[in-house]
């Protein structure tokens, strides 16, 4: 898969923080994993993980580790 670059040569975003928030807001589930969000946006889990980390830093989403490698996320 090739990605588009902007006029400065940087890769364009595959998704936005707003798109991630929209998925969380419209979900019937109270919490979601990054993988679930990534599947709905058709992007990688790592891409969503970076957006979620920034949203958590901005105090817009909460997170909780629920297993050895599982984290769930929700809107604050």
CA nearest to 61, candidates 40, 42, 41, 76: 76
Tell me which residue has tokens 């994993």. 33
pLDDT score of 2 more than 60: no
| Domain count of the fold of the chain | 1
The confidence score (pLDDT) of residue 51 equals 96
Of 4-13, 24-33, 62-71, the poorest mean pLDDT is in: 4-13
pLDDT score of 64 more than 80: yes
Q: Is 65 domain-assigned?
A: yes
Q: Is 46 domain-assigned?
A: yes
Question: 26-62, pLDDT tens digit by residue?
Answer: 999 999 999 999 999 999 999 999 999 999 999 999 9
Instruction: Indicate the pLDDT class of residue 14, thresholds 50, 70 and 90.
Output: confident
Tell me which residue has tokens 């769930």. 72
Q: Is 67 domain-assigned?
A: yes
* Residue 5, strand partner residues: 11
Q: Is 34 domain-assigned?
A: yes
CATH number at residue 71: 1.10.10.10
């Amino acid at each position: 898969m090739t990605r588009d670059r902007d006029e400065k040569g940087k890769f364009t975003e595959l998704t936005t923080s707003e798109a991630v928030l929209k998925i969380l807001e419209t979900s019937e589930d109270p919490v979601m994993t990054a993988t679930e969000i990534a599947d709905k946006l058709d992007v990688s889990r790592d891409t969503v993980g970076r957006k979620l980390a920034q949203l958590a830093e901005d105090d817009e989403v909460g997170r909780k580790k629920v297993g050895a490698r599982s984290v769930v996320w929700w809107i604050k």
